[in-house]
Structure 1
């Protein structure tokens, strides 16, 4: 008997700025979903991409990079990254 149970999950891609999070997500999805740039703080909001396979759905979230700078923008983006990470079941 074939297993037809459908599974899905939320996967967060987290890490410091300019560590390749967006590049990883684009590679996993096989298409450009998230912007890739050498400029820091390119991702301001969580970007979601969905990968469907037979009986499986993976929802990836590309989060803003974590920073240790004391400025307001860095603190705001760290909070956005935390919220996106907390919404996921698995972190990479």
Structure 2
């Protein structure tokens, strides 16, 4: 699978490179936070940090991040954030079987 890696030296680009090229999600998370705090591509950085947190079994933190920061995102990002939240709230089906 080929990932489109952004080019540049901004906080968001650094985070995305660590996530995709270095494949180091634990190191990428604080870099995405730095991008959000710097106001650098906040929409994308919030979505990416939530997805990476979910992959790291940190869904509750991801939910709280979206809830607390979605007001800083554009109107265009709201539907994507809703979709990520829906995914984060899903309970695994197998948990009902036991």
Tell me the TM-score range normalised by the shorter chain.
0.3 to 0.5
Q: Which has the higher strand share?
A: 1
Q: Which has the higher helix share?
A: 2
The TM-score with structure 1 as length reference comes to: 0.38
